[in-house]
Amino acid sequence: MFQQYQLPYASDGLEPIIDALTVETHHGKHHAAYTKNLNDAAEKAGKADMDIEELLASLDKIEDPALRTAVRNNGGGYYNHNLYFSTLSPTPKMVPEGALLAKINETFGSMDELKAKLSALAAGQFGSGWAWLSANKAGDLMASASPNQDNPISEGTGFVPLLAIDVWEHAYYLKYRNLRADYIKDLFEILDWAAVEANYQRVTK
């Protein structure tokens, strides 16, 4: 049984950047629906007890095409939103340090250049999707974007996402309307680098 990530902050905790109604709808309706639909599909596929990262990395093992699509879309929606909501915080650590910061500087040049790259990927994702900073076991970093509820795991890259920028319109449209770039710019103000560092340690340990 896959458990939806429960918010450690109130639905208005991310205001003024993410309004309470958006958090309530996004987490309480969209994310909850992905979780329920994943559990239904994984049960039918006999995969209800798998680790979600292993499940997304082995979608080709699900023979029924409709079931495979259901697990891909809802498993991605489940996993991606667990990551998204767990790396946002009302009291974020504003910059990374240690091994992650060193690798960011080595790979992208600087934090500002990383932010510019992620922002461009998020703004440039046509239609619904995500932008990511990901790592592999060796500690290498990758910035990328994915359509729909895909992610670097289901895409078979060998990388695991550390932070997620949701650019589905349901993530920002109530407040930002068509101004996706403004939402992306503001999102960095509530992105908790302590959570991202913990993800980097988990993936590279």
Contacts to Mn ion by CB under 5 A: 166, 168, 171
Q: Which is nearer to Mn ion, 4 or 108 (CB)?
A: 4
Residue facing Mn ion at closest CB distance:
166
Rounded least distance, CB 50 to Mn ion, Å: 23
Q: Which is nearer to Mn ion, 25 or 58 (CB)?
A: 25
Rounded least distance, CB 81 to Mn ion, Å: 6
Q: Which is nearer to Mn ion, 166 or 192 (CB)?
A: 166
Beta strands, E only, 105-195: 129-135, 141-147, 160-166
Q: Which is nearer to Mn ion, 108 or 172 (CB)?
A: 172
Q: Which is nearer to Mn ion, 26 or 47 (CB)?
A: 26
Q: Which is nearer to Mn ion, 62 or 162 (CB)?
A: 162
Q: In what order do the strands lie in the sheet with 129-135?
A: 141-147, 129-135, 160-166
Calculate the CA 36 to chain-centre distance.
Answer: 18
CB atoms within 10 A of CB 53: 16
**Three-state SS sequence of 75-108:** HHHHHHHHHHHHCECCCCCCCCCHHHHHHHHHHH
Rounded least distance, CB 30 to Mn ion, Å: 5
Rounded least distance, CB 116 to Mn ion, Å: 23
Rounded least distance, CB 68 to Mn ion, Å: 21
Cis peptide, bond prior to residue 92, ω within 30 of zero: no
Buried/exposed code over 20-36 (b: 16+ C-beta within 10 A; e: otherwise): eebbebbbeebbeebbe
Rounded least distance, CB 62 to Mn ion, Å: 23
Radius of gyration in angstroms for the set of CA atoms belonging to the chain, rounded to a whole number: 16
